[in-house]
Structure formats: structure tokens, C-alpha cells
Chain A
Amino acid sequence: MTRIITRRKLIHGAGATAATLALAPSIIRGAGAQERTVYVNTWGGSWTAAEEAAYFKPFTAKTGIRVRTVAPVSFAKLKAQVQSGQYEWDVSGLGIVEFSQAMHEGLLEPIDHSIIDRTQYPPQNINQFGVASVVLSTVLVYRKDKFPNGGPQSWADFWDVKKFPGNRCLYDRSFTTLAFALLADGVPADKLYPLDLDRAFKKLNEIKPHIKVWWTQGAQSQQLIQDGEVDMIAMWNARAQELIDRGAPLEIVWNGAENYTSFRFVAKGTPRAKLAWEYLKFASQPQQEAAFCSILPYGPANPKAFDYISPEVAAKMPSRPDRVKVAYQPDAEWLAPRLGQIRERFAQWLAS
């Protein structure tokens, strides 16, 4: 007798097997772990160390809930978890654009209002799926030794290759670079969105021959500006600050910075959602955000956190009120459904 396995069954089996194999460690661990443990997705390295001090340790001390970490942060892993129903972690954080994409894809657990009190947060810091945590900024950075009499002060200056000659470097992230081009072309920061793509690409054509390299990894951007491979660059503020603290002759220009707010959320359908929201509530307190940002020079999304931060430390932060005024935020709602097409056009433009 022959057993007939339908194609559908076979393929489903294949998917399930692949997912099971990929997540095997978490299942094994899940079986033996204590019940009151929350799994937090983190970047690893100094990021996790700061979280340990600012969030994990005080949280466990207060609630008795243990925190285990899984690194690195992966947007794709979120989708894999929700699709397979196997959860390696419960809580994570993503920048506002990816966060919006995840919302569109239905990958996020709606906020449990029995735990999270909406009124505790500024309205722009919370929606139905997550709470803002920290602000990361992409800023213009230049080498002071190359421009001793003052370097570029705006994206228009960055585009001005006659006044500020030197090697340039931009970030291979479509929407960030397109917005910088529009700022350079004179579009006011509050009128950037919806992005005028044709105008932005036209302006980018001007600067393209002068861009020595397009960076994709944070460490790469640091190496390029530190070694003097390039003289000015668009990079993350905390990465630049790290180099400045180590003695690199760099100047951060906050004018025209892209402030990118990170949101904490819970993976849709995780069996540990209650614990996850408990953790999220604790970590989103101004004192905790202040402690985290005092270790790493990101900015707290909650203005109340500045009450717990000394002015010297606040001087490094992108979300300080005077800096927020000269920066802009990407319109994630507009971007999320269009990102695929914009990315494709940008990649095509880069390769042409």
C-alpha cells in the first residue's frame, strides 16, 4: 500500500520543519526555563550592557521577573516568530519606520491597557502597539582638522563642493538621504513629507560624483571618518560621539538632523505578553530612560527624562529641546507602504 502525501501537506511540513529547526534552541530552553522570565531582543555589546544596568537589573529587583536577552535585533526574526508561532523573544525595539512596517504587516501585539496607562506618556510617544523609547539621530559630521575655519553647517553646505571641498560619504538608507537632498535644495524641514522624489533624485545627481563611498554598517561609518578616508559624512550621532570621546577631531552639526525615534513593542501572539508589558512599562519610565541614555549618548524620547539627566550629559543628546527644533522626523505612516518602491528606485539610482 502506498501512502499518498499531498503536495500541500508536504510543503506545510517543510515549512514547519524549517521553522522548528531554526527555533530549536528556544524550544529547548523554553521547556526548562522558569515561568516568570521575559525574553528581550537586544543589539548586544555596549547596548545590552547599558540595558542591563538601566532596565534589566532594577526590573528584576523590583518585580522578581527574570530577563533573558537574545541578540541581535532582527526585523525578519519578528516576522518568522509571528508566522511560526514559536517565540524566541517577547519584547524588542525598532526605529519608527520599521515599527510602522511591522504594524502594517500585523506583527505587533496591541497594548494591554490593564498594564500600560496611556496618560503617562506624551501623546506622540504612544500608539496602539508601542511606546517610544530613545531617539537616534543621523547628523552631519565633519573633520575639524580638514576644516579648521569651520566646516559645513547645513545640508546645503554639504552639497556645496566649491566652498567645502573634500571627500563625502552618505548613508545607504533611501529615505534619509532623499530627505537630506531636499533640505539641501531648500525645502523647509516641516514641508519634507510627503517626499518629492523626483526633486530629491535630481538634487542627488549633483552630489553623486563627489560621494566617495556609501556606508551601510555603523562600524563602517566610524572607520571611514576616523581614518580620514572621508572629510564629511552623514552618520548616527552616538557613533560620532563615541569617536569624539576617544579623541577624534570631529564636529557634529545638529542642523537638519534626522531624528529617528525607536519604539518598544511586544511580538504579536507571544504567550508571555503580560510579563512583556510589565517589562515595557518599567523600562519606559523617565528615570530608566535617563539612566540608559546617560550610559549611551542616545536621547530619551520622553522629555520628562531630562529632569534626571545632568546638563553636561544632555549636551550629547539629539532629543534636547533646542536640537529637536532644528531636526525633522521621517513620516513613518507615509513611508511604510512606499518603502519597497523607494528602496528599489534608490538602489537603481545608486547602481546607475
Chain B
Amino acid sequence: MAGVVTAAPATATGPAAIPQGPGAGSVPWLLLMPATAALVLLFVLPIGYVLLLSFTDPQVSLAHYQRIFAVPLYTRILFNTFATSLTVTVICLLLAYPLAYVISRRNDWISLVLLICVAVCFWTGFIVRTYAWLVILGNKGPVAAVWQGLGLGAPPQLLFTSFASTLGMTHILLPYMVLALYSVMKKIDPNLLRAAASLGARPNAAFRAVFLPLSLPGVVNGSILVFTICLGFFVTPILLGTPKDMMISQLVNQQIEELLAWGFASAIAVVLLIATSIVLAIYNRFVGLDRLWG
């Protein structure tokens, strides 16, 4: 997530720094300096340090990397982290797309109310929202009460399952997806859809041929945002899930805080970084990361 956010200003400076005429040659480079310096100081150097630690703490060796791939637990956690992030991203997208569509296409109180709901959700702390799910899914919560009220017997265990953990993460990340989609959909000119209709396209065809392709930057943007935040999720799976749902950031935290094993923790972080880069590279190959910037 940090990468996506910090990269934004650097790219934003790009177009602004196009040379305006003769003699302006050094100006773009000067304009790029603050962003570059910030990126190097806050991003490149610390990551370089983490990389160094992963090979040198406590002694120079590849042992940490060997351990990650030799102990089944760690490869499983790594796989689980990506699988969970992908699931959450897909569910978020499926839920958010129609919602963002309605909010952006209607210009009335309904869209306003929906937008406010999304924003309030966005602004509520995620710990609060996680604890809310503990109450809602708990054995004295409304779900269990309705279940028993319908005479269905003892309610199934919802809490402390992979289901609860995925649900909680989806809820927390949904506003990111909605807002990413909304910002792009709002900019789509309604006249384009009218033009399609005037040329004989039915609403479905107009949506598929015009609206959907134009909204794809929002889909890409939202998906990457949700996916990368989800990769680093921490508290929600601990509180709502089972030990089997352990995410990689829990493992890193455990190694750093409980065991002071910074070298091993760094190696895990490096593996996560490389794996994430590979995913983004594949994405770039087939979709194009440049779509991120609209």
C-alpha cells in the first residue's frame, strides 16, 4: 500500500514537468528532486536495510530463506495470505461495482445517502468494525437470535472461522473499492451512453461496449488497492479467524516482537515484497499498470 501511495506524487509531477521550451532542460529535474529524495529516504533506503538484514542478521547466510521454504508452515502462510487477499478483492469488486454504479449514475438523495453510508464506514476505525462483527456473529448476537427465533436449533459457529475473517476484511476494505470505482465512474460522460443508445444499442450492450471499458481503470485501481492492503492485514484475522487463517504480517510481528528475530522477519518481508511484485508484474503484462492513473 505504501508503495502505491508514495508513488502517486512522483508520477503526478511527471506530466507537469514537460519542458516548455528552450532553456527549460534542467527545470524538470529540479522539480523531480523533492519527490525523488522523499522516495529514496522513506522507501528505497529502508527497504534496502530490510533486504540487508535478511541476509546478515545474525550472521551472513541464506539460512532464513532456506527456512521459509523448508518449513511447510511458512509457505502455507504465504500462500494463504495471497489466496485470502484475492478472495477478498474479488468479493469486494462484486459487491462494490453495482453500488458504485448506482451512486455515480443517480443524482438524487439515494446516491447521497449511499455515499454517506460508505464514507461513514470508511471513517470508522477498523478495530471498532472488527469488534462489531464479534458482537454481531457472537452467540448472543442478532444472527444467533434470528436463527433460534426461527426454531432452527443451536446456531452454527460463525465466529472464529475463515468465513468470519473473510467477511470482516471484506467489510473493512469495501469502501476503498467503492470510492475507487466511484471516482472513475463519476467522470464517465452520460452523453456517451445516450450516443450509444441513439445508435441503436440496447442498455445491456451500451453498458458492455461503453460503460464497462471506461470504468476499468477504477476496477484496476480499486483491486490493487484492496489487494495490497489485504496482504498486510493483521488484527481482523486474529480476532475473527482461526490460527489456520494466519496472515503473513502476523508472522512478521511475532518474529519481531516476541522473538527479536529481525533477520528472519526481514526475509519473510522480502519474500512477500517479491511475491507481490511478481503479481503486479503479471497484472502489468496483461492489463497494464498505467491504467491506474486513469
Contacts and interface: CB of A to CB of B under 8 A. Distances in A.
A79 interface: yes
A interface, how many residues as a size bin? 20 to 34
Interface in A11-54: 11, 13-15, 17-18, 21
Contacts of A223: 131, 134
Query: Would you call the interface of chain B mostly helix, strand, loop, or mixed?
Result: helix
B148 interface: no
A173 to B, nearest CB: 9
B133 to A, nearest CB: 12
Interface in B245-267: 246, 251, 254, 256-262
A11 B52 contact: yes
B25 interface: no
Contacts of B91: none
B243 A75 contact: no
B157 interface: yes
B239 A220 contact: yes
A212 interface: yes
Given A17-B45, A216-B238, A228-B139, A172 B243 contact: yes
Contacts of B41: 17, 21
Given A347-B73, A351-B246, A14 B159 contact: no
Contacts of A339: 258-259
Contact of A18 (B49, B131, B243, B261): B49
A76 interface: yes
B186 interface: no
Contacts of B239: 217, 220
A4 interface: no
Contacts, number: 85
Contacts of B157: 212
Contacts of A172: 243
A149 B7 CA distance: 63
B45 to A, nearest CB: 4
Contacts of A101: 259-260
Interface in B17-48: 41-42, 45-46, 48
B129 interface: no
B interface, how many residues as a size bin? 35 or more
Contacts of B135: 227
Nearest to A10: B48
Contacts of A206: none
B239 to A, nearest CB: 6
Interface in B27-81: 41-42, 45-46, 48-49, 52, 71-73, 76-77
A2 interface: no
Nearest to A83: B262
Contacts of A227: 134-135, 138-140
A18 B258 contact: no
A213 B160 contact: yes
A351 B76 contact: yes
Given A11-B49, A15-B49, A21-B41, A351 B139 contact: no
Most buried by A among B45, B157, B256: B45
A214 interface: yes
B49 A228 contact: no
Contact of B73 (A75, A220, A348): A348
6 contacts: A10-B48, A15-B49, A21-B42, A79-B262, A212-B157, A351-B243
The 10 closest A-B pairs by CB, nearest first: A14-B45, A350-B243, A213-B160, A348-B73, A18-B46, A14-B49, A14-B48, A15-B49, A76-B256, A11-B52
Interface of A: 10-11, 13-15, 17-18, 21, 74-76, 79, 98, 101, 105, 172, 212-214, 216-217, 220, 223, 227-229, 339-340, 343-344, 347-348, 350-351
Given A339-B258, A351-B73, 5 more contacts: A13-B45, A17-B46, A76-B256, A229-B139, A347-B246
